[in-house]
Structure 1
Amino acid sequence: MPVLQSVPAASSRAGEAYGRLPLSFEPNVGQAGVPFQFLARGSGYGLFLSPTGAVLVLARAALGEKHPPSETPRQEQRTTAERHGPSSGRRSLADNRQPPLAEREVTALRVDLVGAAPEAAMTGRGELPGRMNYFKGSDPAQWRANVPTFSSVAVEGVYPGIDLVYYGNQRQLEYDFVVAPGADPARITLAWQGAEEVKVDAHGDLVLRTKAGEVRQHKPIVYQDVGGVRQEISGRYTLRSGPATASDQAATRVGFEVAAYDRERPLVIDPVLSYSSFLGGEGRERGWDIAADSEGNAYVTGVTLSTNFPVADALQANFGGGFDSDMFVMKLDASGTNLVYSTYLGGTTEDAGFAIAVDAAGNAYVTGLTTSTNFPTANAFQSAVAGTPPRGLTVHPFDVVVLKLNPTGSALVYSTYLGGSGEDEGIGIAVDSTGSAYVTGQTTSTDFPTANPLQAAPAGAWEAFVTKLSPDGTALVYSTYLGGLAEDYGEGVAVDSAGGAYVTGITGSTDFPTTPDAVQTNYNGGFFDAFATKLNAGGTALVYSTYLGGTNEDQGLRVALDAAGSAHVTGYTFSTNFPTTPDAVQPQLGGFTNELVAADAFVTKLNATGSALVYSTYLGGDSTDEGWDIAVDALGNAYVGGLSLSTNFPVTANALLSTNAGSFDAFITMLSPSGAALTFSTLLGGNLQDDAYGIDVDGAGNIYVTGRTISTNFPTALPLRPTPPDNFFDLFVARIAPDPMLNVARAGNTVTISCLHSLAGFALEAAESLAAPVTWTPVTATPTRNGLYDTIVLDALNGGQYFRLRRP
């Protein structure tokens, strides 16, 4: 799965090291119910180590069980809409179910070190910054926090005078036998069990054929260090006869044959185990949302069906979801090369994370849903699932979950259920400066928890809700239904500095609550309209509330705020008469008008009172385009992430990918504060399907994106491995830094040049004229940071009239 990797450097650049994650090993402190001392996990494999051997568990989805690349999120959403309406497409995991074990190819390869010392000491070396945290189930005694991780594991004295060291990366495992002077490498014997065939091929590789595919150990590299220079020694694998191991009479014994070498010096035997055939993971992953803090750390939540969640360091041995899903939460450092933490969160049935927010201290707030009766709780407002299984079923209806993780991910500050006797789903979350979390979603419960409500009871079968929790998670500050007689779904929420909550979502109600001065007070028809609503700080009154839609179907999916209190909404529309403004980037629907086939994304900015559109525009091409998330920077630029099937999606000259590369591609678009121009717009994807669902932007203008991909050639800056074509959808995380844009202003004899992004790594040059031939002269002034800008002030009489940035 191509996760924690970013897009290739081009005219817009991605962090060079973003996604360079090592293989990590963790001590077994009870998180894995197996008698091994260390473990490591990755895409499609689990590795368990003891002093006398190792077990490598490999899994690959059976052919024919993959998610069809042609299946669109729209089709997926329509299927679930028949049951619960459109927003259940966000939480529907029916397309993500793992096939039963009988339908997956799973192999366990065991290697015993014949004659090894069981008392040999195992130690972790090269401690990594990341920590593993296991919050599985509702019993805190079973949780494990702050489990350290290491870049290698050493087994000292596995044979007399011989040490064994395991290390590697997400693509391959290496292990070195370090033979001390005078020790005998012929004592090393590996007894392999679990392979259908073991052979040494013509290239000298050891090939193990299994029912799940081929595992290959490349010809061993044997060398000695002589005066600081590596001197290679001829060596090869040999298949040996002899007594089988006690545990498996069918074990195949393999040793090493080494040519003459200096026995007064240490000798290193270095096999490399390659398992690229299995790098797909057992199940599917999807990144639903992402948030960035002021230091450039990225926080991601989503859903996984992999028992070995293959996110770089792969975390818990104890996937809790059975054939259902678990929520995951991860934090990457600013370089993207280290997991600060990453964890499953879930119980024994279905769990999913849909939205994440982060406060100034680095606490992460997550909402989603669960059917698990043993979801991990702490300091909970509601400590148990509220609903009961329908007659004849054993699975409980969904409850909302809301949780807060501390900055290191080592503890739940709080974790609570939130729900009534029906279906309850948490879809959007925001946090204010006091640490209060605001959650929106939808419910069928007539007894959903309310407090100081604007609307005390539901009017329809599915009703949106808005809930504000206290900073410690133990109480509701307010909680209210929001909706009319038909179906209403809360999808996104944002909060301003005064505690006003802004909500967007989807409504089919002709009586959805609106305010007199709203942009659109009437339902315009079609299946659904989007809505945008602002509640006062107490949640007791509407500041404004408006429909957003035309005569066909319109869905609002996320909302973000700028410094002036203007709400920016994105989603998608099939309406040819969706409300737009005259100077919009795209005033007309770009796709087909067939409701079942094509839609365009939309981006709408309301003024602070909700009484007028600052701008509103379609965003799309000749086929389906959907906006799934939106973020706004300090200058009011809006960043939209979504997915596109169009062959002519609007992109800018500095796009990373200009034309659709396969099925759906992700898109990332930056609009100017006036909405009159696309500052940056690009597609992102490979030969199959790629969808972006979450987006955020940091103070330096870096864009963070998460979603899912099934492409075998998804673009990466530092590709760690490919995604096999028979894989399920996998999570991706990307960070993109658009090229800096210069603002030039002259006042009298002073020219001020400013740039939102850092000017580090660029050369500022000036020219007196653009008439050919143009002479560009370096500007030697040093920029100063002025708020969000790098700024250079020049004397207009001594400088140029035109300026450019250039990478040296």
Structure 2
Amino acid sequence: MKNRKGLDSVCKYSSVLMLLLLFAAPQFLFAQSYYPSWGSYIDMGTTLHKNEFIEQIVVDNTVSPEEIYIVGRSGSVTGSLEVCDSSIKSGNDDVIIAKFNHCGEIMWKKVFATQYISNGNVVVGKEMGFTIALDNYNGHKYIFIGGEIRNTDPSAKATVTCIEEESCNASVYQSPVGDNWDGFIAKYDTAGNLLRWVKLGGNKFNQGAPDNILAITVDPFTSELFVTGRAKSNNMGSNALTKFDSTFNSTANTGDCFIAKFDNCLSNLEFFSFYGGFLDDRGHDIVLDTSKGYSIPIISGTTESFNIQIDPPNLPDDYNSNSMHCNGAGVCIDAFLMKWDPVLTQGPQWFLYFGGNNTDRGRRLALDQKGNIFWTGWTQSSNMYKTGNAFDKTYGGGGDNDAYVAKVTLDGDIPWCTFYGGNAIDVSNGILWYQDPATLLKYVIVTGLTTSTNLSCTTCVQAPFLSDLNGPGNDGPNMDAFIAKLTDLPIGQKQKLDFFTLYGGTRMEDFDETESHGPFLDFGPNKEIYISLSTKSPDIGSVTKLTNVIGAYQAADKTTSDGFVGLIGLTNIQTCMPLRPEDEVAVSTLDFFSYPQPFHNELTLMIRAASAGTGRIEVVDFYGRTILVKEVQLEEGENQLPLDAGALTPGIYFAKAVFNNQMMITKMIRQ
């Protein structure tokens, strides 16, 4: 039933406000300064508070305002959980997935956990979520997460359909019979409902072999999923529809890197291939270049194997050898970068070793619109390859890690490559690329963790939010997140650092060195920066000078971590309308939008509600000033609420609908 109820006409603003709205908005969109905005703690515990590690963050910019999703793991969940309509006992670690609004408030948070029965006893799984991706498919939006399950049922192929989808009629993929440690992929809708999940794993000659998925991405042309990670099972992917290399290459207790492709319904393993040598190889990230009109997989990772290189066609003449690099003690660990053929069964087009006289590790990737690859990782090699135009040509780690950042073309040229670090440990994990729409200048932004006390920026116009490790006058323990913005300049021009800041509190911003890989970054709609990390600090808000902190540090003591999500904005003007305690919601069943967009004098707010009742509409301007607060009577189903907006001056406005302890926000543009 449709419900048409007029809202009161809103008050008229002065010509001064009109000018502010008209002239402030472009500055908001194209500003070069950054401002520490809100931060939000996440802890899954009620009576138990252990570690929360947040692995990745992804922002959905196809809705307005944007919505933010994170994946990671928690040791704080206790008791029984409802997972896929089954009662599951929580384990030592469980996957967490959560949705935030653009103000940092948690819209919902979910737990993915597994168990099975063995000889009448419940065996509780240990699940870790490492990666997340968003997709639009057949008019619907989905969230995919990947990771690993330990203590999983070795006798089951263990794939589950939880909710039937109209677009997915086929049953889910059946992995080869495995062992008790497999990779997994789970599919959710944006309301937090688990739709289906599958294992990807196997066993190694009928013995235990850990497998995991470390990165996932979605093909924008086909909505197919590409994943990479490490396989220790020789029969992983044996039932794929197509293959390149089905031979497991590693020996002893080592693994192979792999690449796999699934359809969007997780019904078919459409392609699978191992790629590696006799020692340990693992893929840490996979992205798809689409600049040629088709998808080209690019994989980053770490290798200990010799003689698997394939020379890029345009590798620089002064490159320090496309072969494995070792240190003086005979330890050989290199980062690698690999370009796969778009015809997947043709295998890789090139494979690049990257390293020097010590250990090097490949981590995350970003792409520009021309297919250039931006790559970051860690290095302990003082003679790592760097270019003459690099921002920093000197290794400063003193035996510990420096970050590296490199630009690599699709044919293997390296226009620039630089160290980034100080006098101690610097490890990077997240990377973004963008071009400023106002100046057309190009930038690369990286984030990671540091214990260096001498990081600074002499070329930056803007001062850092936080320049002293762990805050002024604090002696440690010394580890903070960092964010650094480097210029992406043409060959021959000297690269420079454009922005730098530390980000954290008086304790450690950290990660689990063996099983967690944060912090991470993603862009908002105007290239504002969203960051996710794990922290032992209860005071990030005051130390990093955030304007608002949602929630509080809940960990049991200073040795345990909580998750943290933050916004680094392009304006110090706050446009958020925080939820009141009674507005907090576990799962949204409210649909709210406005039309037409943009609008002139008349606007309709559309609310679809699951039940009838009294709701509240709030409208604020670009600066967060309240224009209208109105109670409305909603009926079950579709409610159309006309708004007389003729008195509004041109600009950006936000409307919030609150109903049944649920909230949604929509952006409105008055022309």
Q: TM-score range by the shorter chain?
A: 0.5 to 0.7
**Alpha-carbon spacing, 1:583–1:319, altered in 2? closer, same or farther (3 Å):** farther
Instruction: Please state if 1:404 is matched with 2:192.
Output: no
Output the CA distance in 1 between the equivalents of 2:339 and 2:257: 14
Alignment of 1:73-472 (within 5 A): 281=49, 283-294=50-61, 295=63, 296-307=66-77, 320-322=89-91, 324-347=92-115, 348-360=124-136, 362-371=141-150, 372-373=152-153, 377-378=160-161, 381-383=172-174, 386-388=177-179, 396=180, 398-412=181-195, 414-421=196-203, 422-433=209-220, 434-450=222-238, 451=240, 452-461=242-251, 462-472=255-265
Matched letter for residue 709 of structure 1: T
Q: Give CA deviations for 1:157-201 in whole Å, capped at 9, x if unaligned.
A: xxxxxxxxxxxxxxxxxxxxxxxxxxxxxxxxxxxxxxxxxxxxx
> 1:336-735 counterparts in 2 under 5 A?
336-347=104-115, 348-360=124-136, 362-371=141-150, 372-373=152-153, 377-378=160-161, 381-383=172-174, 386-388=177-179, 396=180, 398-412=181-195, 414-421=196-203, 422-433=209-220, 434-450=222-238, 451=240, 452-461=242-251, 462-497=255-290, 498-517=294-313, 519=315, 520-526=321-327, 527-539=332-344, 540-592=346-398, 594=399, 598-610=400-412, 612-633=413-434, 636-651=442-457, 652=460, 653-661=462-470, 662=476, 663-674=478-489, 676-691=495-510, 692-715=518-541, 716=546, 717-718=548-549, 720-723=551-554, 725-726=557-558, 728-735=560-567
Deviates more, 1:690-699 or 1:298-307: 690-699
Q: TM-score, normalised by structure 1?
A: 0.54
SS in 2 for 1:368: strand
Contact kept, 8 Å, 1:285 with 1:303, in 2: the verdict is yes
What is the TM-score when the length of structure 2 is the normalising length?
0.64
Provide the secondary structure at the position in 2 that maps to 1:328: strand
CA contact (8 A) 1:493 1:502 kept: yes
Given that residues 485 and 511 in structure 1 are in contact (C-alpha distance below 8 angstroms), is that contact kept between their aligned partners in structure 2? no
Q: Secondary structure at the match of 2:233?
A: coil
Cα distance in structure 1, aligned partners of 2:650 and 2:351:
44
Contact 2:429-2:520 at 8 Å conserved across structures: yes
* 1:452-505 Cα shifts (integer Å, max 9, x gaps): 333221222311001111122111221101112221111111112222111000
Rounded Cα–Cα distance in structure 1 between residues aligned with 2:465 and 2:175: 47
Distance across 1 between alignment mates of 2:54 and 2:212? 17
Deviations 1:13-50 (A, max 9, x none): 2445x6499xxxxxxxxxxxxxxxxxxxx7653xxxxx
1:35-77 CA-partner distances (Å, limit 9, x unpaired): xxxxxxx7653xxxxxxxxxxxx44xxxxxxxxxxxxxxxxxx
Partner amino acid, structure 1, of 2:259 = V
Q: Are the aligned partners of 1:329 and 1:345 in contact in 2 as well (CA < 8 Å)? A: no
The 3 A distance-change label for structure 1 pair 401 and 585 is same
1:681 and 1:516 map into 2 onto residues whose CA distance is: 33
- When residues 458 and 784 of structure 1 are mapped into structure 2, their CA distance, relative to the original with a 3 A threshold, is farther
Distance 1:561 1:671 in 2: 15
Cα distance in 2, alignment partners of residues 712 and 559 from structure 1 = 31
Distance 2:57 2:553 in 1: 23
**Aligned pair in 2 of structure 1 residues 510, 380: CA closer, same or farther (>3 Å)?**
farther
| Aligned-partner Cα distance in 2 for 1:605–1:711 | 34
Match for 2:367: what amino acid? Answer: L
- Cα deviation, residue 382, structure 1: 3.9
SS in 1 for 2:279: coil
Deviation string, structure 1 residues 734-767 (Cα, Å, up to 9, x no partner): 1212569xxxxxxxxxxxxxxxxxxx779xxxxx
Task: Map Cα deviations across residues 593-642 of structure 1 (whole Å, 9 max, x no partner).
Answer: x2xxx1101111101222x1121111110000001122223555322121
Are 1:436 and 1:468, in contact at CA under 8 Å, matched by a contact in 2? yes
Q: Distance in 1 between matches of 2:560 and 2:536?
A: 6
Q: Tell me, in whole angstroms, the C-alpha distance in 1 between the residues paired with 2:176 and 2:347.
A: 30
The one-letter code sitting in structure 2 at the alignment partner of 1:546 is: L
CA distance in 1, matches of 2:41, 2:305: 49
* Greater relative CO (CA pairs within 8 A, separation 6+): 2
Secondary structure in structure 1 of the residue aligned to 2:229? strand
**Aligned CA distance change for structure 1 residues 568 and 480 (closer, same or farther; 3 Å):** same
State how far apart, in whole Å, the 2-side matches of 1:668 and 1:425 are.
28
Paired letter, 2:421: G
Equivalent residue of 1:633, what SS? strand
Q: In 1, Cα distance between the equivalents of 2:486 and 2:89? A: 42
Counterpart AA for 1:320: K
Which amino acid in the other structure matches residue 734 of structure 1?
Answer: G
Residue 703 of structure 1 aligns to which amino acid in structure 2? I
Assess, with a 3 A threshold, how the Cα gap between structure 1 residues 669 and 435 changes in structure 2: closer, same or farther: same
- Aligned pairs, how many? 464
State the percentage of identical aligned residues. Answer: 25
**Residues 758-784 of structure 1, C-alpha deviations (whole Å, 9 max, x = no match):** xx779xxxxxxxxxxxxxxxxxxx999
- Give the match's secondary structure for 1:590: coil
Note the C-alpha offset of 1:694.
Answer: 1.8
- Cα gap change, 1:507 to 1:518, in 2 (>3 Å): farther
2:34 aligns with: 12
Q: Encode CA deviations 1:526-551: one digit per residue, 9 max, x unaligned.
A: 43111111112232232332111112
Match of 1:148 in 2: none
Q: Is contact 2:69-2:97 (8 Å) kept?
A: yes
CA contact (8 A) 1:589 1:618 kept: yes
Structure 1 stretches of 5 or more lacking a match? 1-9, 22-41, 46-57, 60-280, 310-314, 389-395, 741-759, 763-781, 786-808
The code of the aligned residue for 2:126 comes to: E
Question: Greater CA radius of gyration, 1 or 2?
Answer: 1
8 Å CA contact retained: 1:287, 1:708? yes
Q: How far, CA to CA, are the matches of 1:698 and 1:466 in structure 2?
A: 29
Q: Distance in 2 between matches of 1:449 and 1:591?
A: 40
Q: Secondary structure at the match of 1:613?
A: coil
CA RMSD of aligned residues (A): 3.1
For residue 197 of structure 2, what is the amino acid of its counterpart? S
- Counterpart amino acid of 1:658? S
**Is the 2:260–2:269 Cα contact (8 Å) retained in structure 1?**
yes
Matched residues in 2 for 1:435 and 1:345: separation?
Answer: 26
Using the TM superposition, give the Cα deviation of residue 308 of structure 1 relative to its aligned residue in structure 2, in angstroms: 5.1
In the aligned structure 2, how far is the partner of 1:712 from the partner of 1:317?
A: 36
Structure 1 residues 625-681: Cα deviation after superposition (integer angstroms, max 9, x where no partner): 001122223555322121000001245543211121132111122222228122222
SS of equivalent residue, structure 1 residue 648: coil
In structure 2, runs of 5+ residues without a counterpart are 1-31, 116-123, 162-169, 204-208, 316-320, 437-441, 471-475, 511-517, 573-621, 625-648, 653-671
CA deviation after TM superposition for structure 1 residue 355, in Å: 0.7
Instruction: Give the AA of the match of 1:638.
Output: V
